[in-house]
């Protein structure tokens, strides 16, 4: 999704310290070179195929469909190398880092999926790698921390604020300001300053293209496409395949957390107001004193007060409907998919599925495509703490 | 142009007001007052901690703005330092209308020079202080000169508040030279000044400096701050 000089309507921009501006300009140039260079694009798609496992299948989930009365299709991003969609973006940006001759990459991570995917790409391309992760997330996503370390990344627990994703991004920005000469900040979602939203969305566009081609091959389109929304990258990935098909309804599902009260959720697009946060003007969960609101979600990857600017634009334009589901409904969907289909999803896309299952009445007889953005191995500790099997 | 940064409302409104008076009494040319925001990405641990503490003890941007407005010492210039969201979400025009009479400028570390237009176009009439950095290109200075600000804020290091500048590095000296050659504005060195030796070095190469972290460290004890401010000016 192309921006107008870094803006989508009113949203986007480059709200970062001045010292980063030349680095953002350099990144934009490198990204444009990359797009215009068939050799590099070929290499990128070769890695996505031979290394990451693209294209991913679309599975018609028969048991779920039968029980809930609508045709449920799953885009199986959970089958990708490292277990989530994040690898599309990390391979793309690691290639850009190489192109810009940066020797070191840093990244934030919430659920640890982006951290693992970054550490993986760093190993592949021979880059030094440091991952910032809120200490609360380090604790709740330990399997991913172990993987990052095995892959050779240094994992720095961040002890500030709520010790979750926002704090990891702030710590990454501070590192980048300090080490901008030799370091690329490999941001993990469609948030942050231009050109990140546009660039990350373009690396993920392949998900939507594959889905579109799949349905074209079958001779019909889904009626609804659903994705979970943290910063918004997997959702942008799949939505881009269908944005210009007005008959396909697009639904973005954020974390409703414990309740819709302030501090209890991460439902930025339905509960937030416009603000400037971590590089972009977008919707933001903030309090009456212009301070960033505390957030909560059972899912570390959705636990974020901000949102990529493209989603704010798509909300205002009315092209995507944004909504939220509560923690307990996401957990219910997690168990439903696990028991009915033998697929253990990550807690993040469990939110997308939960929206579909909980609205089955209205979806009856229609085709619903859920972007299954990642698998749930990382979440087993949380599931057990929440009462384990149901 | 010698200045001191204080974290607005830290540790509480009264102590802060007393510390601000100490800055005036010590003969500084300007004071830079931080309006708290809880994602201070350009600040190191000392200033970030002071900001978090003041917010959790209930200090609000409006209270600090009121302090700034009440602080009418004709002999000192006043700049507010805050993050873009505070002004944007308070209301760009509203902030400007309420504060224009009390401020010589605002310093917004997450509003790079090219984004300032967005604020001006929305009715912001207080000068936004431009930033120069070690990465500044000669072509960037044109935009800085268009600002109504009387100063340029030079960040002489790659890093955040609380780190130390190296005033002998050829890179820094070259960069300051290039900037001064291309502007009439006063070039103020922010970030990285700890003591009177640093301050002396800064005055030798630029038109002024601002001390932040070391002042904030003493902000909960105005008497101690006053002693430190005296030592800085030697
Ligand atoms: C599997 C999975 N899905 C979704 C997300 C949320 O991020 P985004 O909204 O950028 O896709 C994450 C983030 O960690 C994730 O791991």
Residues in chain A with CB shorter than 8 Å from the CB of B158 are 19, 177-181
Residue B43 is a catalytic residue: yes
From CA A193, how far away is CA A66, in angstroms rounded?
A: 44
State the Rg of chain A over Cα.
19
Q: Annotated catalytic residue: which of B12, B18, B29, B32?
A: B32
The angle formed by the CA atoms of residues B49, B54 and B59, to the nearest 5 degrees, is 155
Closest partner CB to A21 (pick from B36, B44, B114): B114
Distance CA A177, CA B160 (A): 7
Look over chain B and give the mean of its residue pLDDT values, rounded to a whole number. 95
pLDDT at B166: 87
CATH class of the region B2-232: alpha beta
Q: Number of Cβ pairs closer than 8 Å across A and B?
A: 109
In this predicted structure, the answer to whether residue A387 has a pLDDT above a threshold of 70 is yes
- Determine the pLDDT at residue A388: 64
ipTM of the prediction: 0.96
CA–CA dist A263, B223 (Å, integer): 39
- Residue B121 designated active-site: no
Whether A286 has its CB under 8 Å from any CB of chain B: the answer is: yes
pLDDT, residue A185, reads: 98
Task: Please answer whether residues B47 and B166 qualify as being in contact, where contact means their C-beta atoms are separated by less than 8 angstroms.
Answer: no
In chain B, what are the domain boundaries? Answer: 2-232
**Measured distance CA(A27)–CA(B14) in Å, rounded:** 46
What is the pLDDT, as a whole number, of residue A94?
A: 98
Supply the pTM of this predicted model: 0.96
Peptide bond between residue A195 and the one before it cis (omega within 30 degrees of 0)? yes
Distance from CA of B81 to the nearest CA of A (A): 13
What's the pLDDT tens digit per position in A270-309? 999 999 999 999 999 999 999 999 999 999 999 999 999 9
Cβ(A128)–Cβ(A122) under 8 Å?
Answer: yes
CA distance A180 to chain B (A): 8
Largest CA distance in chain A: 56
Average pLDDT of the residues in B191-203: 92
Residue A144 Cβ < 6 Å to ligand 1: no
Chain segment A197-242, per-residue pLDDT in tens: 999 999 999 999 999 999 999 999 999 999 999 999 999 999 999 9
Domains and CATH numbers, chain A: 16-48+86-196 (3.40.50.1100), 54-83+205-385 (3.40.50.1100)
Q: Lowest mean pLDDT of A138-147, A290-299, B28-37, B155-164, name the range.
A: B155-164
Give contacts of A 242-261 with B, CB under 8 A.
none
Told to judge if A77 belongs to the known catalytic residues of this protein, a careful annotator would answer: no
Q: pLDDT band at residue B191, thresholds of 50, 70 and 90?
A: confident
pLDDT band at residue A390 using 50, 70 and 90 as cut-offs: low
pLDDT bucket at A161, cuts 50 / 70 / 90 = confident
> Are A330 and A351 contacting, i.e. CB atoms less than 8 angstroms apart?
yes
- The model's confidence at residue B159, banded by pLDDT at 50, 70 and 90, is confident
* Residue B13 confidence (pLDDT) above 70: yes
Q: Name the band, by pLDDT with cuts 50, 70 and 90, for residue A389.
A: low
């Amino acid at each position: 999704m192309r921006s107008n000089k870094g803006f989508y309507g009113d949203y986007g921009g480059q709200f970062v310290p001045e010292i980063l501006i030349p680095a953002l300009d350099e990144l934009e140039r490198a990204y444009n070179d990359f797009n215009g260079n068939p050799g590099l694009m070929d290499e990128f798609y070769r890695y996505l195929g031979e290394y990451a496992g693209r294209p991913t299948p679309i599975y018609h989930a028969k048991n779920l469909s039968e029980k809930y009365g609508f045709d449920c299709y799953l885009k199986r991003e959970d089958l990708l190398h490292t277990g989530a969609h994040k690898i599309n973006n990390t391979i793309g940006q690691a290639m850009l880092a190489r192109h810009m001759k940066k020797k070191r990459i840093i990244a934030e991570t919430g659920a640890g999926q982006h951290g693992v995917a970054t550490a993986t790409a760093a190993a592949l391309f021979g880059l030094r790698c440091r991952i910032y992760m809120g200490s609360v997330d380090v604790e709740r996503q330990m399997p991913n921390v172990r993987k990052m370390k095995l892959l050779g990344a240094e994992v720095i627990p961040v002890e500030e604020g709520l010790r979750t994703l926002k704090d990891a991004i702030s710590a990454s920005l501070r590192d980048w300001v300090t080490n901008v000469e030799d370091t690329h900040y490999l941001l993990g979602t469609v948030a942050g300053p231009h050109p990140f939203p546009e660039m990350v969305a373009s690396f993920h566009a392949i998900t939507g293209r594959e889905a579109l081609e799949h349905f074209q091959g079958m001779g019909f389109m889904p009626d609804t496409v659903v994705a979970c929304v943290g910063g918004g990258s997997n959702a942008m990935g799949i939505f881009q395949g269908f944005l210009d098909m007005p008959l396909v309804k697009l639904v973005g599902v954020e974390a409703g957390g414990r309740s819709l009260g302030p501090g209890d959720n991460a439902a930025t697009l339905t509960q937030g107001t416009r603000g400037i946060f971590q590089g972009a003007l977008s919707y933001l969960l903030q309090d009456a004193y212009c301070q960033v609101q505390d957030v909560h979600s059972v899912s570390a990857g959705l636990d974020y007060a901000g949102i990529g600017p493209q989603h704010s634009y798509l909300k205002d334009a009315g092209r995507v409907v944004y909504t939220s589901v509560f923690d307990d409904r996401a957990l219910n969907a997690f168990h439903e998919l696990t028991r009915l289909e033998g697929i253990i999803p990550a807690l993040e896309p469990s939110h997308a599925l939960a929206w579909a299952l909980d609205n089955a009445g209205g979806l009856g007889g229609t085709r619903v495509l859920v972007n299954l953005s990642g698998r749930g191995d990382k979440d087993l500790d949380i599931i057990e703490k929440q009462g384990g099997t149901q | 142009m010698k200045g001191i940064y204080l974290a607005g409302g830290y540790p509480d409104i009264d102590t802060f007001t007393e510390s601000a008076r100490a800055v005036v009494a010590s003969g500084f040319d300007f004071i830079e007052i931080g309006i708290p925001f809880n994602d201070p990405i350009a600040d190191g641990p000392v200033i970030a901690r002071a900001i978090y503490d003041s917010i959790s003890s209930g200090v609000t941007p409006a209270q600090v703005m009121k302090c700034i407005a009440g602080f009418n010492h004709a002999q000192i210039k006043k700049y507010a330092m805050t993050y873009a969201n505070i002004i944007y979400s308070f209301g760009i025009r509203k902030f400007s209308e309420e504060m224009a009479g009390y401020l010589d400028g605002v310093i917004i570390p997450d509003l790079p020079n090219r984004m300032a237009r967005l604020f001006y176009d929305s009715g912001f009439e207080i000068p936004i202080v431009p930033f120069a950095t070690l990465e500044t290109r000669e072509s960037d200075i044109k935009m800085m000169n268009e600002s109504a600000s009387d100063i340029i804020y030079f960040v002489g290091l790659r890093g955040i508040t609380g780190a130390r500048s190296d005033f002998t590095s050829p890179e820094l000296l070259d960069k300051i030279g290039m900037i001064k050659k291309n502007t009439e504005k006063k070039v103020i060195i922010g970030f990285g000044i700890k003591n009177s030796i640093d301050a002396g070095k800064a005055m030798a190469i630029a038109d002024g400096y601002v001390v932040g972290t070391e002042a904030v460290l003493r902000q909960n004890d105005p008497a101690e701050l006053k002693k430190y401010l005296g030592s800085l000016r030697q």
